[in-house]
Structures are given as structure tokens and as C-alpha cells.
Amino acid sequence: MSSRKLELAKKRNPGLAELFDRTSAYIRAQIIHNRQNFIIPKLAAAALDMNDGEAFILLDLLAQEDLLRRVYNVYCRKNGILLATVDALEALDTIPHCDFCDKDHDPSDLKVEIAFVLKDDELLTMAA
């Protein structure tokens, strides 16, 4: 069984079809085998042998095709602890207390990383 949305994305972007296949295979491997909830562009770039910008564009295109959803992982800049995952940067004002530093960080003490999560299970159910 193939993903209808992925096939549509490939039809709309025929030049990217092979890259979409590689990226979706990577996403499945990360979620099923590596048990990762987030698809992070820099890790996708390393695994797919491309640069961060290329990986981000591919993931963002899959988000535009309704297969992924863009989120923001918010870390304590000093200790690299994941504090929250938010849907919009406006939510940076509501970041929870950092237990590791035992303080409420100012926005400049936070590091924001763009990540992607599955919109639904469509990419997971398709044949590899």
C-alpha cells in the first residue's frame, strides 16, 4: 500500500520524487526502528547525505503535503535539556520552568530547533 498523499506530492514535484522516497524511508526508519518522535533536519541531512537546508526544504514540502507537521523544540541553551515542544514561536513566552537550572529562563537563554512530527500514520502504514 502506498501513501496517497506521498504519491500526490511526487506527481506535483516529479523532479523530487526520488528524494521524497528516500526521505519518507528515513522518516519511517527513525520512527519505527529508532523510536524517534521528531524528525530533525540536521539528522536527516546527515543520514541522507545532504546539507541542512536541503533536508529542511524536503521535510517542509512534506509538511505542505499534509504528511508532516512543523513544530519547535525548545531547549535550555546552557544544558541542552528539552523543555517543551510548541506549535508556534509565540508560545515561547509560556515555556515551563527548567528543572535542571531551577529557574524560568528568559527567551535569550533558550535554543529553538525546528523539528517535524507525523501529521497522521499514513507514512508509517505504507510498504517500505
Partner 1 sequence: MSLAYSEIEGKVLRMKWAEQQERTSLNETNDGVVSIPVFKRVVLIADFGEKIAELRLNPPENRHAYTDNSGRPTGEAYYNAYIQKAKDMIGSPIVPLDLRHVIKSLVEEQEPRVARIHIDNHTDQQNYRSKTTGPNADVRDSPDWSLIYQASGNKWSWDGQSFYWLPKASSGFLTREVFTHIDADEGFVKVNADCSDEEVGYVISQIRAR
Positions that interact with partner 1 (CB under 8 A): 30, 34-36, 38, 40, 42-43, 45-47, 51-53, 80, 106-108
- Residue 101 CB, shortest distance to partner 1, in Å, is 16
Report how far apart, in Å, the C-alpha atoms of 103 and of each of 6, 12, 85, 90 are.
44, 48, 18, 20
Beta-bridged to residue 112, according to DSSP, are 74
- Residue 44 CB, shortest distance to partner 1, in Å, is 9
Nearer of residues 86 and 92 to partner 1, judged by Cβ: 92
Nearer of residues 13 and 36 to partner 1, judged by Cβ: 36
- Residue 46 CB, shortest distance to partner 1, in Å, is 4
Instruction: Answer whether 27's CB lies under 8 Å from 16's CB.
Output: no
Nearer of residues 11 and 33 to partner 1, judged by Cβ: 33
The alpha-carbon radius of gyration of the chain (Å, integer) is 16
Instruction: Answer whether 75's CB lies under 8 Å from 109's CB.
Output: no
